Structure 1
């Protein structure tokens, strides 16, 4: 499994086109970067085309400014049969100082698909370190919480129609 890429970091400068009306980088731009990093990570791990199945728990901790050096790090923290849970951290800094600060964090679930768009098996990720084991257990807890939330949301869907 040495040819599997478990982690990827995208690095780039925040551009003027990424700014919202308040003068900071737009949350939608950050979410796009998160999705790109999640795809690169999941495709690198699975060796397959992957689609986003879920993005949740997005926490915008600090603003990103135009001209900041942005680093979006994506890491596999759990695998199912065809799914991969990817932890995403977004950090930013003034490129002259390089003092990264966490700006955003979330979990994204990606699903590998075959040429017909059907779920495809992915290699199992097995945690090696204590930190990895904690991340895997956290992913399992979050998965169980999402199931409960999904059940609760069914009532909302029923009454919105």
Structure 2
């Protein structure tokens, strides 16, 4: 039911096909996993097909090793009229250990769309805890910062 599934975790093993030239998991593979988790979480929350509108603040903290268990956690931290901001964390570690270390984190914005591909309304997420309130406030500050960046980038875009 829309508006009830706020978070999810994808779990899988990092495979040899995911490696880069340095022998670690390619950053692009992690970005794909993040996009998949963001889609699954946003679709579960909204009950709609969702598209990626933005990925930002991507930080690669530690490498992911082939054969490690990877956990991609996605959580709704803010909802607009048609969009959902998601906090994403990627953790990994040996499959024989319950301990997983943070490897990557970012914010994703997903937009719910109707059958014609037009943005459509999503259920509102209301924070329940102090941590939730802080995450929502952070998402709002990021919206304001992105607006400033967009204004600044306008001079570059118009000269192309």
TM-score with structure 1 setting the length: 0.97
Deviations along 1:74-129, one digit per CA (max 9) or x if unpaired, are 00000000000000000000111221100000000000000000000000000000
Could you tell me which runs of 5 or more consecutive residues in structure 1 were left unpaired when the two chains were aligned.
Answer: none
1:116 and 2:116 matched: yes
What's the secondary structure of 1:119's corresponding residue?
Answer: coil
Query: Partner residue of 2:88?
Result: 88
Aligned pair 1:139/2:105, yes or no? Answer: no
Q: Which stretch shifts more, 132-141 or 93-102?
A: 93-102
Q: Measure, in 2, the Cα distance between the counterparts of 1:60 and 1:135.
A: 20
Q: For the structure 1 residues 3 and 138, does the alpha-carbon distance in structure 2 shift closer, same or farther, using more than 3 Å as the test? A: closer
Structure 1 runs of 4+ with >6 Å offset: none
For 2:51, the equivalent position in structure 1 comes to 51
Contact 2:2-2:46 within 8 A present in 1 as well: no
- Alpha-carbon distance in structure 2 between the residues aligned to 1:150 and 1:17: 36
Q: Look up the match of 1:64.
A: 64
Give me the whole-angstrom Cα distance separating, in 1, the residues matched to 2:128 and 2:58.
26
- Cα distance, 1:116–1:2 mapped onto 2, change above 3 Å: closer
Q: For 1:98 and 1:154, how far apart are their aligned partners in 2?
A: 47
Equivalent residue, structure 2, for 1:32:
32
- Three-state SS of the structure 2 residue aligned to 1:23 is coil
Contact 2:2 2:44 survives alignment (8 Å): no
Between the aligned partners of 2:83 and 2:2, the Cα distance in structure 1 is: 20
